């Protein structure tokens, strides 16, 4: 079966610290996945990369075979992401 989500050698730095290093895996359609780890293990960063909110430093992320960096607008409707703590200015208006 083809993977709905595929990561190939994905790496991500946060403030010059390697958070994700050559991460490679696939998730088949219909699967349920949990990311478990200590604080600062990279779980939130991984989810932000998967949601297209942050770009990986290297490697590729595919959603249904589409590159998340190159085809971001084509796959935005396929992704839902609700962070525990909102990452926006609470004083912004809806228009902003």
**pLDDT over threshold 90, residue 12:** yes
pLDDT, position 19:
92
Q: The whole model's pTM is what?
A: 0.79
> 88 lies in a domain?
no
Number of domains in the chain: 1
> 35 lies in a domain?
yes
Q: Tens digits of per-residue pLDDT, 32-76? A: 999 999 988 899 899 999 988 899 999 999 999 999 999 988 888
> 83 lies in a domain?
no
Q: Are 81 and 51 in contact (CB under 8 A)?
A: yes
State mean pLDDT over 74-90.
77
> 96 lies in a domain?
no
Q: CATH number of the domain at 19, please.
A: 3.40.50.300
**pLDDT over threshold 80, residue 23:** yes
| CB < 8 Å & 24+ apart, contacts of 31-38 | 31/4
> 67 lies in a domain?
yes
> 12 lies in a domain?
yes
> 15 lies in a domain?
yes
SS3 assignment for 24-50: EEEEECCCCCCCCCCCCCCHHHHHHHH
**Containing domain of residue 45, as a range?**
3-78
Q: Can you give the length of the chain in residues?
A: 96
**pLDDT over threshold 70, residue 27:** yes
């Amino acid at each position: 079966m083809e993977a709905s989500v595929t990561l190939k050698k994905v790496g991500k730095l946060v403030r010059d610290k390697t958070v994700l290093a050559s991460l490679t895996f696939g998730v088949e359609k219909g699967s349920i996945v949990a990311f478990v780890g200590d604080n600062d293990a990279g779980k939130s960063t991984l989810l932000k990369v998967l949601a297209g909110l942050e770009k990986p430093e290297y490697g590729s992320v595919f959603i249904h075979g589409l590159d998340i960096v190159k085809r971001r607008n084509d796959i935005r409707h396929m992704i839902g992401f609700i962070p525990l703590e909102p990452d926006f200015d609470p004083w912004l208006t809806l228009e902003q």
